[in-house]
Structure 1
Amino acid sequence: MTRTIVQLTSNNNLEFFFRQTPQGDGVWEDTQFNLVNGRYHADWLIAYDEPNKICETDLPKARRILFRTEPKSIKYYSSDFLNQFGAVVSIDENSSFDGQTILSQVALPWMYGLDFERPEEAYTWDALAADKAIPQKGELSVVCSTKNMNVNQSRRLRFLTMLKEALGDRMTMYGRGFRPIADKREAIDGYRYHLVLENNLLADGWTEKLADPILGGVFPISAGSPNLGDYFNPEGFASIDITKPRQAVAQVLDILDRDIAAEAVEVMKENKQRLMQQHNFFSLCSRVIKTIEASQGGRDIQRLESAYSFRPNRMPKWKKLGSVPKPLRPLSRKIYLSLFERQ
């Protein structure tokens, strides 16, 4: 069988991504993914967030795909940078991009079972797939940092404060600024429920924050993407709207008191299967490639005569000058929330 060869490149370390393939070797069905940051002869190039600064390719733009891993509210991507790619996978549109935008979750890497200081002990595919029987140590957990870079990060911190006041010891808080952890398993294993607080509320904007409790077999209560039902069976999770914080607090209390997880065991297993087989990074990449190939009519690769080096992603000076000064941003978001989201 002839395999499609994909060059995977990034400005981040992606070596731990490969545990999301059954043999840990980057093979997904008929596609071989190789993490190569230099020059490499492949059928497709996929850049995750940004290509590595030493990355070169002989592939035409039509064979280059960018996973834009952050929404526009978190990270700026210049048109000069984006238009080096034929397709962009992202959760929101960018009007300055003239290629094909594929709106989708962007398959951020799973953190469950991964300690960066002891990568040799990371959970492999089989360990991630296995059912877990872990003694209960708490009712509800949450992992959240004190980052305050956009409106929803301010919103979720406000909600977390309100929920902690209502729940007290029924909720355990983890993350930078609360209780640091090396492996997300510490904050998931042994809990009945896990609160998922995403950075944004956009459609398709779910991340590893949702994937990790699904892998751990813990019932997720999600404040984030409104269309999770497009990806998972809705009986295996609960959604809350933290733009209405008082109502969301009441909803969490009701979920815990009724213990809806008790009736969702089999559906949660189904959602875990969907996550690992359909919404895995490698599965998503394979589908994106097949979609683009079908639209191109299976044309042969017209390789470049000389290697192409990528231009970096830079924010123009005029945009920096026109933005709200950093020290004032948290205050402006706090005022907005207090005026418009008080329910």
Structure 2
Amino acid sequence: MTDSSRPTRIKVIRKSMKASPDQTESLLWGDCLFCTDAAMTDYDWVLVYDEFPRTPVGTIRNETEPLLCPPDQTILITVEPPSIKIYSRAYTSQFGTVLTTHSIRDLPHPGHTLGRGCLEWLYIKPMQEILDQKEFPKTKMLSTICSAKQHTHTMHKKRYDLTRYLADRLPELDWFGHGIREIENKTVAMDDYKYHLCVENHLEPHHWTEKLSDAFVAMTLPFYAGDPLATECFPQESFIPIPLDNPQKALEIIRKAMEDGEYEKRLPAIREARRLVLEKYNMFAQTAAVIHNHRETGTIRPGAMLKGRHVLRKNPLHALRELTDTLAYKIRSRGRRGTGTGA
């Protein structure tokens, strides 16, 4: 049982964990305290964000964490879509809940929970500064962040080709990204702009990423090629859909929207979308919702361990299962249209 007078403490495990206590971070979300202290042992829940650190840090050795809470009080957040990464059953079965954009067919799990946009923002400012900001002066028109990657097994190639087509025809478009125009923080590519071009690397219902949520946090109006069901989460007027496979049509939509001043017209909807990201669609809010809905039934199991994907792969049986899961996904996706698999 946890002490109701103190926050529920969540140890956050991720690849980039720091060993030094002064480099750790903590965030209080309601009555949930999220902490990235790798040496933390006094916790109620464990949250693994994608993967374990590959090098020893804190209590984590050889990609394993001695589990000091009940096994059902563990959460995995998947970061990559199935066209890029398959999370093996050996890995996911360790967790009580999996917050994911993968369908339950692609990631079967008894604790499968749809995590809409449940990813870290790459728009980096102190949280309190983001929450307090009320005015958003805009001096520039249109930006995008798109790397030079042109992989064909994902949607990187289509994304790049659309961006290239638009950049060649829209002098207003400032193009940032790895291999194009490097930036350290997405604020540089968003804060001054009214509009932002957002193209996902994987197209499937319920899959939208920080590409969309970051645009809302920065109070831009996104031109969006991605989740066809995004209006289930955000006001219809808060973004403008564009077709990925019809660059000419996308160009017409973007030009008309800017000429008609759609940014100013849609500011109330954009503000509401931003509020939803800040209050509902982020990893802290969605993790807290899982914890609040949880019925405490488990007990700590002495000697229990959480293991990372790479250490599990050392077991030939687990490696084989991951390979078969990957092949099964490729076969299933071959008949899909627009999933970003390149099929």
- Whether these two folds match at TM > 0.5 is yes
Residue identity matched to 2:226 = G
Residues 84 and 154 of structure 2 are in contact (CA less than 8 Å); yes or no, is this contact kept in structure 1?
A: no
Which residue of structure 1 aligns with residue 290 of structure 2? 288
1:92 partner SS: coil
Pairs within 5 Å for 1:257-336? 257-291=259-293, 293=294, 298-313=295-310, 314=313, 316=319
Q: How large is the Cα RMSD of the aligned pairs?
A: 3.0
Which residue of structure 1 aligns with residue 330 of structure 2? none
Distance 1:43 1:141 in 2: 42
The one of 105, 110, 116 aligned to 2:121? 110
Aligned residues: 305
Identity percentage of aligned residues:
24
Distance 1:153 1:289 in 2: 35
Distance 1:100 1:321 in 2: 22
Pairs within 5 Å for 1:50-61? 50-52=51-53, 53-61=63-71
Give the CA deviation at 1:319: 7.3
Give the CA deviation at 1:311: 4.5
Higher share of residues assigned helix = 1
Distance 2:224 2:36 in 1: 32
2:79 partner SS: coil
Query: CA, structure 1 residues 307+318, in 2 after alignment: closer, same or farther (shift >3 Å)?
Result: closer
Q: For each residue in 1:299-334, what CA deviation from the matched residue of structure 2 results, as whole angstroms up to 9, or x when unmatched?
A: 34311022424143448379779999xxxxxxxx9x
Residue identity matched to 1:166 = R
Which residue of structure 2 aligns with residue 189 of structure 1? 191
Query: CA, structure 1 residues 126+96, in 2 after alignment: closer, same or farther (shift >3 Å)?
Result: closer
Distance 2:273 2:324 in 1: 45
Give the CA deviation at 1:241: 2.3
Query: CA, structure 1 residues 38+83, in 2 after alignment: closer, same or farther (shift >3 Å)?
Result: farther
Distance 1:3 1:173 in 2: 43
Q: Which moved more, 1:313-322 or 1:78-87?
A: 313-322
Distance 2:218 2:251 in 1: 24
Distance 1:242 1:14 in 2: 39
Residues 99 and 118 of structure 2 are in contact (CA less than 8 Å); yes or no, is this contact kept in structure 1?
A: no
Which residue of structure 1 aligns with residue 250 of structure 2? 248
Residues 7 and 31 of structure 2 are in contact (CA less than 8 Å); yes or no, is this contact kept in structure 1?
A: yes
Which residue of structure 1 aligns with residue 162 of structure 2? 159
Residues 51 and 308 of structure 2 are in contact (CA less than 8 Å); yes or no, is this contact kept in structure 1?
A: no
Distance 2:136 2:50 in 1: 36
TM-score by length of 1: 0.79
The one of 94, 101, 108 aligned to 2:112? 101
Residue identity matched to 1:230 = E
Give the CA deviation at 1:243: 3.0
Residues 91 and 204 of structure 1 are in contact (CA less than 8 Å); yes or no, is this contact kept in structure 2?
A: yes
Q: For each residue in 1:15-57, what CA deviation from the matched residue of structure 2 results, as whole angstroms up to 9, or x when unmatched?
A: 9xxxxxxxx8411111122224356232221111023424221
Distance 1:274 1:189 in 2: 19
The one of 73, 88, 92 aligned to 1:82? 92
Query: CA, structure 1 residues 319+243, in 2 after alignment: closer, same or farther (shift >3 Å)?
Result: farther
Residues 132 and 217 of structure 1 are in contact (CA less than 8 Å); yes or no, is this contact kept in structure 2?
A: no
The one of 197, 221, 227 aligned to 2:229? 227
Which residue of structure 1 aligns with residue 50 of structure 2? 49
The one of 195, 209, 218 aligned to 1:216? 218
Pairs within 5 Å for 1:113-124? 114=124, 122-124=125-127
Which residue of structure 2 aligns with residue 12 of structure 1? 16
Distance 1:225 1:144 in 2: 17
Query: CA, structure 1 residues 222+78, in 2 after alignment: closer, same or farther (shift >3 Å)?
Result: same
Q: For each residue in 1:184-215, what CA deviation from the matched residue of structure 2 results, as whole angstroms up to 9, or x when unmatched?
A: 12111222211111111122322221222212
Residues 146 and 177 of structure 2 are in contact (CA less than 8 Å); yes or no, is this contact kept in structure 1?
A: yes
Q: For each residue in 1:107-150, what CA deviation from the matched residue of structure 2 results, as whole angstroms up to 9, or x when unmatched?
A: 222222x3xxxxxxx434234530234351x3211011122343
